[in-house]
Amino acid sequence: MGGEVNATMLIARIRKERRTAGASSFVLDVSIEVSPGITILFGASGAGKSTLLDCVAGLTRPDEGRIVTGGDVLFDSSREIYVPAPKRRIAYVFQTLALFPHLSAEENVSYGLSDLREEERRERVAAILTAFGVEKLRKQKPGEISGGERQRIALARSLVTGPRVLLLDEPLTGLDAELKAAIVDDLRAWNTAKGIPILYVTHSRDEVDALGERVIALDNGRVANAGAPMEVLNAPRRKRLAQAAGFENLLGATVLDLREADGVMRVRLGESACEIEVPLGYAAVGTHVQVAVRAGDILLATERPHGLSARNMMEGRIISLEQRGTMVIARVDCGVAFVVHITPGAVRALDLTAGRRVWLVLKTHSCHLVD
C-alpha cells in the first residue's frame, strides 16, 4: 500500500469462482477502491454484488486477492492471511435485514456490544435508537413492527458497533420514497461524524440519484464502469447495464456517417428508414451499434414541431397506451417501436389515443451508445 492512500479507504481485489455441479458458472473478478462516504454498487441481479459484499465482510472466502482497510490487511491470498468475519469490524446490513426474531429491538441493537460494560452498552443503545427515531420500539420484537422501523433498527444494530466499513445490501427496498429519503438522511448525518467508507448496493436508479457520490457498476462479475453517477449511468457501456439503469429503449442501429466537427454521427435504426443523430462514438461507418434511450427523455407532439433545438424528429403512430400508476406507457411505431413515458395529463391535453399519428422528439444527447 502506497503512502498516498487514505488510511480509512477500503481497497479490495477479489477473485471468486462459483461452481455449480463442478462446472464454473460465475466468476467475480473485481478491483475496487471505496473512499469515505457513500459509494453505490450498481448492477443487475446476478452481477455479483452480494458475493462481493460477502467477500469483504468475511462471510465468503475469495479464491484469490487482497482486502485492506484502514491499513489492516483482512485478506491476502499470497500471504495466507484471512481475518474471520467476527474480527473484521465491518458492519453489514443484509437485504433481508436478518434481525434476530426472538430478541427485542434493544437486544438486537446491543448484540454486537457484548464486550462493553452493561452501563455503557445501555447508553450507546439508547443513544443510537434515539438518533434513528426508534427509541419507543426498544421492547418490541422485529415481527411486531413495520418495515421502515425494522430497517432503522437493522441500521442502528450495525452502526452502534463503530464499524470501519459499512456494507448495505439493498437495505431500503420496499419503502416509499419519502421514508427512504428520511433514512438516508439519518445515515448521512451519522456518517458526517464518522467518515467511513459505505458500500451501498442497489439496482434502483432513483437510489443512485438520491445517494450517489460515486458509483461502481458491476456487470457479470466485472467492474463495468466507475466514477460519478452521471458519467457511469448516463453512458452505459454494456447492454445489460443499460437495461438495469432504466433505458427502456435499446435499439440496434447502423452508422451512416460521422460528423467529427459537430461531435455527432447519423445512424439508421434497425431495418427502418428512420435516421437519427447521436453523439459521436468509437464506430466506423457501416458498423452496428446499440442506442439506448430512456422512455422519459422522449417528447411526443401531435404536429411536426418548429423552432426546437432537438435534432431528431420522427413521425409515427401510437400502437398502445397503458396507464401504470401516475404514468402512461405509450408504444409508438416509427418503423421501429419506441416506448415513451408521459403523464396522464399530457394524454388528456393532447387527446392521445391508439392509432393516432404523432411526432417523437429526441435530443441528440438523450441517445446513448452502448457496446
- Smallest separation, CB 100 to other proteins (Å): 6
CB of 2 to other proteins, least distance (A): 29
Measured CA to CA, the distance from residue 149 to residue 12 in angstroms comes to 32
The answer to whether residues 215 and 49 touch, using CB atoms and an 8 Å cutoff, is: no
The DSSP annotation for 175-191 comes to --HHHHHHHHHHHHHHH
Residue 333's closest CA among 315, 351, 321?
315
- Closer CB to other proteins, 100 or 333, in the complex: 100
> In the block, which residue shows the cell 442501429?
253
Smallest distance, Å, CB 296 to other proteins? 36
Q: How far is the CB of 10 from other proteins (least distance, A)?
A: 15
Q: Indicate the residue among 21 and 261 with the shorter CB distance to other proteins.
A: 21
Return the closest-CA partner of residue 275 out of 332, 335, 319: 335
In the complex, least distance from residue 87 CB atom to other proteins, rounded to whole angstroms:
8
Distance separating alpha carbons of residues 13 and 223, to the nearest angstrom:
11
Q: Which three cell numbers stand for residue 279?
A: 453523439
Question: Using CA atoms, how far apart are residues 113 and 120, in angstroms rounded to an integer?
Answer: 9
Grid cell listed for 196? 467511513
Closer residue to other proteins in complex, CB, 197/316: 197
Grid look-up 452521471 returns 230
Per this entry, what is the length of the chain?
371
Residues that bind other proteins (CB under 8 A): 54, 57-59, 84-92, 94, 96, 98-102, 111-112, 114-115, 141-144, 157-158, 161
CA distances (Å), 252 to each of 108, 265, 274, 316, in order?
Answer: 52, 15, 12, 18
Least distance in angstroms from the C-beta of 341 to other proteins: 36
In whole angstroms, give the CA distance from residue 191 to residue 309: 43
- DSSP letter at 361 equals E
- CB-based contact 254:291 (threshold 8 Å): no
- Tell me how far apart the alpha carbons of residues 179 and 185 are, in angstroms, rounded to a whole number: 10
Measuring CA to CA, which residue among 314, 324, 239, 300 is closest to residue 272? 314
Q: How far is the CB of 137 from other proteins (least distance, A)?
A: 15
Query: To the nearest whole angstrom, how small is the minimum distance from the Cβ of residue 110 to other proteins?
Result: 10
The three-class DSSP label of residue 251 is strand
- In the bound state with other proteins, the residue whose beta carbon lies nearer, of 28 and 57, is 57
Q: Which is nearer to other proteins, 94 or 132 (CB)?
A: 94
Nearer CB in complex with other proteins: 112/281: 112
